[in-house]
């Protein structure tokens, strides 16, 4: 995973967070093992440009005025309606120590069971927990599903091997599977249940014919 520099400033905890956001900055916290937590701010546009280009697992070198800290994004909170970034947690890391981190799963191809048999793909695990050095973090885990037929699944144990990366999920966990679309059977109409129209007896005509026959 690429390492990118991002300027950061120490902030007072008592500062109004909305004022910080309106100034084009994101309130954040830097913390970690053997580290004193620091309340900081980073430029919103620069931060979002980095995340958009490099992904959420990018290694960030927070550059303060007199020192720098290496970190990853532990949590990014967004506004419920606008999805604008509200707060960031930066976790301190060492480039020489392995960490556990979630990596997104990317689906490649169209499953045979979907393309040729009318099935549907269920994407069950969208993120996989991995353990590796920060510099070995993959931006994504690509999964080729093109050979999967209806009733078949791909598990964690079948994910592609990546040098330096260990999968932490249960190997039997299903990542994707292909299922048949359930079509409700059309039930036969019960004719006895359909109300029948009352029988109409044309008596009038017969009576008229009878009366006419009596004439001499």
**Which CATH number belongs to the domain containing residue 114 in this structure?**
2.170.120.20
Residue 187: inside a domain: no
Say whether both 105 and 85 belong to one domain.
no
pLDDT at 34: 87
Q: How many CB atoms lie within 10 A of CB 14?
A: 6
Tell me the per-residue pLDDT of 125-144, one tens digit each, with 9 for 90 and over: 999 999 999 999 999 999 99
CB 123 within 8 A of CB 104: no
Tell me the per-residue pLDDT of 188-197, one tens digit each, with 9 for 90 and over: 555 555 555 5
Residue 169: inside a domain: yes
pLDDT at 212: 46
CA angle 5, 53, 72 (to 5 degrees): 50
Q: How many domains are there within the chain?
A: 2
Domain of residue 60: give its range.
3-93
pLDDT at 2: 77
Residue 208: inside a domain: no
Residue 211 has pLDDT above 50, yes or no: no
CB 50 within 8 A of CB 76: no
């Amino acid at each position: 995973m690429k390492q990118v520099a991002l300027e950061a400033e120490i902030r007072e905890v008592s500062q109004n967070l909305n004022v910080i956001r309106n100034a084009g900055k994101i309130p954040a916290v830097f913390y970690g093992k053997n580290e004193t937590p620091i309340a900081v701010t980073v430029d919103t546009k620069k931060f979002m440009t980095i995340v958009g280009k490099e992904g959420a697992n990018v290694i960030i070198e927070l550059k303060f005025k007199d020192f720098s800290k290496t970190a990853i994004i532990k949590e990014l909170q967004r506004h419920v309606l606008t999805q604008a970034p509200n707060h960031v947690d930066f976790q301190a890391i060492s480039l020489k120590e392995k960490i556990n981190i979630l990596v997104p799963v990317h689906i490649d191809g169209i499953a045979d069971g979907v393309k040729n048999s009318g099935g549907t793909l269920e994407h069950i695990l969208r993120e996989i927990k991995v353990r590796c050095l920060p510099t070995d973090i993959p931006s994504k885990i690509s999964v080729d599903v093109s050979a999967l037929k209806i009733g078949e699944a791909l598990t964690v144990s079948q994910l592609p091997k990546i040098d330096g990366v260990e999968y932490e999920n249960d190997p039997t966990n299903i990542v994707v599977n292909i299922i048949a679309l359930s079509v409700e059977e059309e039930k036969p109409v019960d004719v006895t249940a359909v109300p029948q129209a009352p029988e109409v007896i044309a008596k009038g005509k017969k009576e008229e014919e009878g009366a006419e026959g009596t004439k001499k």
